[in-house]
Structure 1
């Protein structure tokens, strides 16, 4: 019995052969395994077809995708991962954004991989199938600067640009989000190193108070890659197709 935490049907749709056809409308019970799919229409084969399609896609990805710690990965490619992950949502306007983040390197985790690269997965909270994630305050997204005016000048922090980019990185082919061409890759401007660092630091600080990490595995498409330096770990930013408990 497999227990799925997150499943993006939009990404799953991308693997349908041409001509594209829509997957059956399904409703997934929160907190149960994939066996708990409830089909909204009276066609009993739809849920089985969905499971079979997911199994075929995972089998194909398992054959051809790289491990998330491998070098020379580029945005748009698919990776496999297995790592201890915390999952959180941010309070406020970006609460629909869910983040899966591996624990900080100095935290205690028996499953911490031996790598110089962290993992940051971003997706929509509506794709969560398990228990609700912890809500955290996250980093400062806006602030005030300047003293020439009483209200100052409102600006967006680097972390704010990163969060905004992740929150608007919709799956192609999902209702109302347009095609892949209409949702271009994230720009280097929106994914600044300092912004990613601030976001990771904020999630790490919250997770040290209430850790939710569990060993998980799955497949994700690379959004951005932060190279490691002599003093800082790298970070792979990716959008998951599926996240499952590994045990």
Structure 2
């Protein structure tokens, strides 16, 4: 399989597989001094497209884990398992509930496998959670993750931090004791809420058939009214589909998406507050583009 048209690529997670090899990608240092304050700022490297050396490493890692990776709809997944996914998904950037709207720091993908692939004939939902640090394409925001979802936002950043330290251990937040600890908002509930938010608020333009590899964070059993949900952290995500050029085909895909998530077929934009409408996170600038409604 070739790597092309990547949407997400975690250099941190890749380098964690090579702990004894120092990374060649070091941040540059920019210093500014005035008469009262001296400031040193770490600036990430400008290059975002994976280099040939990085793609070679990624091929090595993929060969290592593909033989043990399961499809994301496999019935007996546990935290730490590697999964392979290939399905239509939507994606958007997001931020913590209490953060300012221009501080999107997480990237969320969502999608569902049709009934025939799920256990007992029910769909299986998949949500991929990563850092915008590894986003390669300009992407519209979905706004805040939602009230009471701080646990998942914190987990995403902790995993990204562990990858930076070269650690591949499962975070303590995901062990049985931590997940069973009494709290107002249980992790299973939080994950389901965030999945529902991103499904309602993602921009329709950011939806395609994608594939890649990810590591399972949570395998949430199906409930009386909701399907099973897999929450995972991706290593890479690439777009494998061509956008349809015929307007009738695009309209049919839009109609199917609206039916799946209970939207009006005439509603072409996500239901976002004014401050988040038409706002984008642009990796090239490493800053979100300003909102037209600011």
TM-score (norm 1): 0.71
CA RMSD of aligned residues (A): 2.9
Which one scores higher on RCO, CA 8 angstroms, separation ≥ 6? 1
SS state of the match for residue 162, structure 2?
Answer: coil
Q: 1:120 aligns to what?
A: 127
Q: How many residues align?
A: 205
Whole-Å Cα distance in 2 between the matches of residues 113 and 246 of structure 1? 22
Structure 1 position 96 matched with structure 2 position 105 = yes
Structure 1 position 165 matched with structure 2 position 155 = yes
Whole-Å Cα distance in 1 between the matches of residues 60 and 228 of structure 2? 32
Checking the alignment, whether the CA contact within 8 Å between 2:13 and 2:235 is kept in structure 1 is yes
Could you say if the C-alpha distance between residues 112 and 246 of structure 1 is closer, same or farther in structure 2, counting changes exceeding 3 Å? farther
Q: 1:68: how far off?
A: 0.8
1:7-59 Cα shifts (integer Å, max 9, x gaps): 1112212322xx711232185755x6x4xx3xxxxxxxxxx332212112122
Q: 1:82 aligns to what?
A: 86
1:110-155 Cα shifts (integer Å, max 9, x gaps): x9984321111111101111x22211223432xxxxxxxxxxxxxx
Q: 2:223 aligns to what?
A: 229
SS state of the match for residue 129, structure 2?
Answer: strand
Structure 1 position 200 matched with structure 2 position 195 = yes
**Bigger fraction of residues in helix:** 2
Checking the alignment, whether the CA contact within 8 Å between 1:102 and 1:213 is kept in structure 2 is no
1:52-99 Cα shifts (integer Å, max 9, x gaps): 121121223222211111011111111111121211112435611111
Q: 1:172: how far off?
A: 2.6
Q: 1:231: how far off?
A: 2.4
Checking the alignment, whether the CA contact within 8 Å between 2:16 and 2:167 is kept in structure 1 is no
Pairs within 5 Å for 1:133-144: 133-141=139-147
Q: 1:225: how far off?
A: 1.1
Q: 1:145 aligns to what?
A: none
Q: Which runs of 5+ in 2 are unaligned?
A: 27-44, 242-294
Whole-Å Cα distance in 2 between the matches of residues 191 and 22 of structure 1? 39
TM-score (norm 2): 0.61
1:142-184 Cα shifts (integer Å, max 9, x gaps): xxxxxxxxxxxxxxx2x3333333333325341xx57456943
Checking the alignment, whether the CA contact within 8 Å between 1:83 and 1:112 is kept in structure 2 is no
Q: 1:244 aligns to what?
A: 238
Q: 1:50 aligns to what?
A: 54
Could you say if the C-alpha distance between residues 170 and 113 of structure 1 is closer, same or farther in structure 2, counting changes exceeding 3 Å? farther
